[in-house]
A = this chain, B = another copy of it.
Amino acid sequence: MNLDKLAWNADGLIPAIAQDFASGEVLMMAWMNREALQITLDEQVAVYYSRSRQSLWRKGETSGQTQQVHEVRTDCDRDTILLLVSQTGVACHTGRRSCFYRALDDQGEHALTEPLVDPATLYGAKA
C-alpha cells in the first residue's frame, strides 16, 4: 500500500476511528502517523500516534487492552481511517468499553455507561 495516496494533515497525521468488528460499536477515535499505520497494516494490531506524548502508541501496551485489526478502511477523500477491531477488554482509559459514553443535549451532558473495570487496575497501580 502506497501511503502517499492518503490525505495526511499538515502534522503528517490522519484520524483513525476504531469500531468493534462484531457489535459495530464505535470504540474510540485517535490519530496515526505513517509509521503507526504501516505497523497496523503489517501486524494487524492497532497502533496510533499520541499527539500529547509525540510518540507511537501501541494500544494496550501498558493496559493489555489491545485491538486486533480485522480490516483497515479509508473513506472517499482518503482523509480518515476506519479500523474494524476485536477489542480485548475495554477501549477507554476510564474503564468503559467505548470512549463515547457521554450524551450531549441542550441541558448538558450525562454518562450513558459506567466503567466495567477500575481504571487503576488497567495501568498497573498498586492496590
**For residue A109, which residues in chain B have a CB less than 8 angstroms away from its CB?**
1, 5, 74
How many of these chains are in the complex? Answer: 2
Q: Which of B78, B96, B99 contacts A102 (CB 8 A)?
A: B78
Is the CB of A93 closer than 8 A to any CB of chain B? yes
Q: Which of B72, B102, B107 contacts A104 (CB 8 A)?
A: B72
Interface string of A93-125 (1 = CB under 8 A from B): 110100111111111110010000000000000
Bound together, the chains give a CA A104 to CA B2 distance in angstroms of: 10
- A24, B19: Cα distance in complex, Å: 9
The answer to whether A29 and B75 have CB atoms under 8 Å apart is: yes
Whole-angstrom distance from the CB of A117 to the nearest CB of chain B? 14
Query: Contacts A15-B15, A17-B17, A82-B100; is A75 near B28 (CB within 8 Å)?
Result: yes
Number of interface residues of A (CB under 8 A): 41
A72 to B112, CA, bound (A): 11
- Residues facing B in A65-97 (CB within 8 A) are 71-78, 80-82, 92-94, 96
A35, CB-defined interface residue at 8 Å? no
